Structure 1
Amino acid sequence: MKLGIFTVLFGQKPFEEMLDYVASKGLEAVEIGTGGYPGDAHCNRKELLADESKRKAFLKAVESRGLIISALSCHANPLHPQKAISSEHDQTIRETIDLASKLGVPVVNTFSGCPGDSEDAKYPNWPVAPWPNDYQEILDWQWKNKVIPYWTEIAKYASERNVKIGLELHGGFSVHTPATLLRLREAAGEAIGANLDPSHMWWQGIDPVQAVHILGRAGAIHHFHAKDTSIDPINVNRYGLTDMQPYTNMLERAWQFRTVGFGHDLKTWADIISALRLVGYDYVVSIEHEDGLMSVEEGFTKAVQNLQQVLIREPLGEMWWV
């Protein structure tokens, strides 16, 4: 496995300065934002798509520092009921797939998106209860008319360009659990897989180790994010796991994102890494930092230090004791 970083964390740094900083920390991979919610501070996708010489210079800047690009990321909502939004996000995803293909990057990360409750809807509607039956009807309509048709088309588009789609299992979107990811993968094809982020599993009450087993045994983990979550045992009883308070209200929230090792101990993270190896995932563990209690530099540095202790790097050898 290789240790990497989702570089939107350092969006304030120029591209090559960011690469120098990442390499100085001993990392081996970068995941680069190309638009959508993460922005495109380090990658002008339209410029790179139009100019082969600029693509070569872009790759040279990365590779000359001993790094690889693990994924291009354009987290967005291409199923948004407002056509102006969904069209822009769809274009971003397609252009990112095109760019990944031209750069030889194997994975594009994004969200599944979430539709509204009808063709006339203005905002996304995320059903999370089976009753009253209206919610089941909305969910069925969404998957039949929006989720499956769109992602079947995009999966074909990506496959034709030798690119895989890593959907981040994130609350608020149609694909947010191992089951919903596998449902879409079965309908749309194997180009669809997970950009698995344990932080979103924990707050939904899902054990990330089991999520790794469920998805990994199906060959459905295309990329992996390293981010932690802490759950406040008092606040969760007041607000529940679907706490709608802003992330900035950290003292009162039921849960919050933390850097690796500050929500769960390193034994837990060692179990996650071991599970990834067990199911055959031997790609990049990409750090994502969204810890409201730490600066960017400190949170990133501590995540690197903690993951360096548990990451399994070397290829498997023979079991000499058998």
Structure 2
Amino acid sequence: MKLGVFTVLFAGKPLEEALDYIASKGLDAVEIGTGGYPGNAHCDPDTLLGDAGKLKAFKQAVESRGLTISALSVHGNPLHPQKQIAKEFHDAFVKTVDLAERLEVPVVNTFSGCPGDHEDAKYPNWPVAPWPNDYQEILTWQWEQKVIPYWSEWGRYASQHNVKIGLELHGGFSVHSPGTLLRLREAAGEAIGANLDPSHMWWQGIDPVQAVHILGRAGAIHHFHAKDTTIDPSNVNKHGVTDMQSYALMLDRAWQFRTVGFGHDLKTWADILSALRLVGYDYVVSIEHEDGLMSIDEGFTKAVANLQQVLLREPLGQMWWV
């Protein structure tokens, strides 16, 4: 496995300065934002697709520092019920797939999106209860009329451009669990897989090791985020895991994101990484730092130090004891 980082963390630095800093920490890979929610501070698809010289220089900037690009990330909601919003996210996704092909980057990360509850809706609707039956009707309409048709078409497009789609399993979107990911993959094809982030499993009550097994046995893990979560035992009984309070209200929230090792111990992280290897994932572990108790540099540095202790880097040898 290789260790990487989602570079939106360093959006305040110019690309080459950010790459120098990342390389100085001994990392192997970068995941770069190209639009949507992550923004495109380091990588504007319009610029690079329109200028072969700039495309070459961009690629050289990464490779000259001994780094590779693990994924381009363009998280958004291409199924948003407001057509203009959906179009902006969709266009950014398509350009990112085109750019990934040009850069020979194998994965584009994004969200599945979430539609409204009918054709003329204004806002997304994320059903989280099976009853009253209205919610089941909404869910059926969303998947049959929006989610499956969209990703069937654009999954094929990605495949034609030699790109896999890593959907981040994230609350608020139609694909948010191993089960919903596998449902979409079965309907829309194997270009669809997970950008698996344990932090979003923990707050939903899903064991990340089991999520790795469920998805990995289906060959459905395309990329992996390293981010932690802590659950407050008092606040979760007050607000539940679907706590709608701002992330900024850390003292009262049921759960919050932490950097690797500050929500769960390194044995837990070793179990996750071992499970990844067991199911055949031997790609990049990409750090995502969204810890409200740590600065950018401190949270990133501690995540690197913790993961370096448990990352399985060397190729498997023969079982000499067998």
Q: Match for residue 261 of structure 1?
A: 261
Moved more, 117-126 or 48-57: 48-57
Q: CA deviation at 1:54?
A: 1.1
Establish whether residue 251 from structure 1 lines up as the match of residue 245 from structure 2: no
Alignment of 1:156-167 (within 5 A): 156-167=156-167
Alignment of 1:25-174 (within 5 A): 25-174=25-174
Q: CA deviation at 1:16?
A: 0.2
Q: Match for residue 287 of structure 2?
A: 287
Q: CA deviation at 1:141?
A: 0.1
TM-score under structure 2 length normalisation: 1.00
* Structure 1 segments unaligned to the other structure (5+ residues): none
Count of residue correspondences: 322
Q: In structure 1, how many angstroms separate the alpha carbons of the residues matched to 2:41 and 2:238?
A: 39
Q: CA deviation at 1:265?
A: 0.3
Q: Match for residue 206 of structure 1?
A: 206
Q: CA deviation at 1:153?
A: 0.6
Q: Match for residue 235 of structure 1?
A: 235
1:289 match: secondary structure: coil
Q: CA deviation at 1:269?
A: 0.1
Q: In structure 2, how many angstroms separate the alpha carbons of the residues matched to 1:105 and 1:14?
A: 21
Q: Match for residue 187 of structure 2?
A: 187
Q: Match for residue 22 of structure 1?
A: 22
Q: In structure 1, how many angstroms separate the alpha carbons of the residues matched to 2:44 and 2:119?
A: 33
Q: In structure 1, how many angstroms separate the alpha carbons of the residues matched to 2:56 and 2:28?
A: 19
Q: CA deviation at 1:52?
A: 1.4
Provide Cα deviations, 1:141-164, integer angstroms capped at 9, x if missing partner: 000000000000110000000000
Q: In structure 1, how many angstroms separate the alpha carbons of the residues matched to 2:37 and 2:129?
A: 27
Q: CA deviation at 1:51?
A: 1.3
Alignment RMSD: 0.3
AA matched with 2:26: G
1:264 match: secondary structure: coil
Q: Match for residue 271 of structure 1?
A: 271
Q: In structure 1, how many angstroms separate the alpha carbons of the residues matched to 2:125 and 2:61?
A: 42
Provide Cα deviations, 1:36-94, integer angstroms capped at 9, x if missing partner: 00000100110101111111111111001000000000000000000010011000000
* Structure 2 segments unaligned to the other structure (5+ residues): none
Q: CA deviation at 1:134?
A: 0.1
Q: Match for residue 220 of structure 2?
A: 220
AA matched with 2:188: A
2:102 match: secondary structure: helix
AA matched with 1:162: N
1:72 match: secondary structure: strand
1:211 match: secondary structure: helix
2:123 match: secondary structure: coil
Q: In structure 2, how many angstroms separate the alpha carbons of the residues matched to 1:103 and 1:10?
A: 21
Q: Match for residue 176 of structure 1?
A: 176
Q: In structure 2, how many angstroms separate the alpha carbons of the residues matched to 1:45 and 1:304?
A: 29
AA matched with 2:16: E
Q: In structure 2, how many angstroms separate the alpha carbons of the residues matched to 1:150 and 1:313?
A: 37
AA matched with 2:265: D
AA matched with 2:235: N
Q: CA deviation at 1:20?
A: 0.2
